[in-house]
Amino acid sequence: MSTSSIRDTTASSSSSTVTSPYPPIIKGASLLIAYRLENRPVLLIGGGAVAAGRLFFLLESGAHVTLVSPRSGLDPSILYRIETSNTSDITYHDRYFLGRSDPLNVSDYAMVLTAIDDNPLSYEVYESCRDERVTVNVADVPPKCDFYFGAQLRQGPLQIMISTGGMGPKIGAMVRDIVRKAIPDNIQEAIQGVGALRTDLRKRAPGVGGDLGKKRMEWMIGICDKWGLGDMAILSKDDIRTKVLDQGWDKGKVVGPSDVGVGGKPKSSDGLVSLLGGGQVVAGASGLLGGLAIGIVGTLIYLRHAR
């Protein structure tokens, strides 16, 4: 991965006077990762607007959510989810959470989230999670968060999260709206096309790692560059993928759309890339501003502290 693909060069050059082939380490960032929560138990405390956002994203990630909040204060979308979701997806307790004396124990959960209007209780939950080494987000106390949520955007398999490191969450949402407009319409199909090609390729050239793994990766990189986001959706078609593998992989060549008789759209490295300043869209960070980070790919967690 090149230096410029990791971090915006304007941001890094201003904070380092030493010339180095490697990016300088600028601390204060969070670790942007795509956290997998499928079938894992998560405790969500609170039932207002903030909890409603949390619940939506947790359900999309496939977590089993235990929600504790009195029915009287529930956001309408939460009521709707409780009534319509599978009982294994949401276990609902119509009551206040009692902190350390609560019958539910934070140590039984992979993650705990509080979104309550009770600051002292939020601290208590945080402390008990710390004691039990359970990852926690406390919506009203950023310094007590192991991770932050961010402004999110999801189009099928594409997932984007934007954070300002806690400084200006509304700005994150505004940047998200700019990014949304810059994403090509057929991005979902493009990802699905490439995903299908990767699967077919692995059937044709199975195995993990080694020289074959390197060869597969180099070939896939060449294919992505050659097809561009504008044409990749065509790879969803079975017959096209077969041609690409027969005429390309099997013969040690990187073939483009015209080689297999399709395409025609101008190759687009797309608006998103130009928006970000040139070829820097990766599952990582792009320091447009001091605290701004954009993570592309997976499920929304932004880890604050290593233990």
Ligand X SMILES: C[C@@]1(CC(=O)O)c2cc3[nH]c(cc4nc(cc5[nH]c(cc(n2)[C@H]1CCC(=O)O)[C@@](C)(CC(=O)O)[C@@H]5CCC(=O)O)C(CC(=O)O)=C4CCC(=O)O)c(CCC(=O)O)c3CC(=O)O
Ligand Y SMILES: NC(=O)C1=CN([C@@H]2O[C@H](COP(=O)(O)OP(=O)(O)OC[C@H]3O[C@@H](n4cnc5c(N)ncnc54)[C@H](O)[C@@H]3O)[C@@H](O)[C@H]2O)C=CC1
Which positions lie near ligand Y, rule CB under 6 A?
45-51, 68-70, 73-74, 96-97, 115-118, 121, 139-140, 169
Q: Is 140 a catalytic residue?
A: yes
232 φ, ψ (degrees, to nearest 5): -60, -25
> Of 140, 200, 259, 270, which is the active-site residue?
140
CB of 149 to ligand X, least distance (A): 4
Contact partner at residue 172 from ligand X, ligand Y, none, CB < 5 to 8 Å by partner kind: ligand X
Task: Please identify the residue of the shown chain whose CB is closest to the bound ligand Y.
Answer: 48
Contacted by 145, from ligand Y, ligand X, none: CB < 5 to 8 Å by type:
ligand X
- Helix orientation angle between 76-84 and 49-60, rounded to the nearest 10 degrees: 30
Q: Is 206 helix (H, G, I), strand (E, B) or coil?
A: coil
68 or 194: CB nearest ligand Y: 68
In angstroms, give the least distance from the CB of 35 to ligand Y: 17
Residues 6+ apart with CB under 8 A from 270: 182, 183, 184, 228, 229, 230
CA angle 142/146/149 to nearest 5° reads 65
Q: Which is nearer to ligand X, 57 or 96 (CB)?
A: 57
Q: How far is the CB of 196 from ligand Y (least distance, A)?
A: 37
Which CB sits closer to ligand X, 69 or 186? 69
Q: State the nearest-atom distance from the C-beta of 84 to ligand Y, in Å.
A: 19
CA distance 125 to 99: 6
- Cβ of residue 100: shortest distance to ligand Y, in angstroms? 12
Return the number of the residue (74 or 161) whose C-beta is nearest ligand Y.
Answer: 74
Look at the alpha carbons of 81, 83, 88, 93 in this order and tell me if their dihedral is positive or negative: positive
Of 193, 219, 194, the residue nearest 205 (C-alpha): 219
49 versus 174: smaller Cβ distance to ligand Y: 49
Q: What is the CA radius of gyration of the chain?
A: 23
Are 71 and 48 in contact by the 8 Å Cβ rule? The answer is: no
Question: Which residues here bind ligand X, judged by CB under 6 A?
Answer: 53, 137, 139-140, 142, 145, 148-151, 163-166, 169-170, 172-173
Which residues are marked as active site?
A: 140
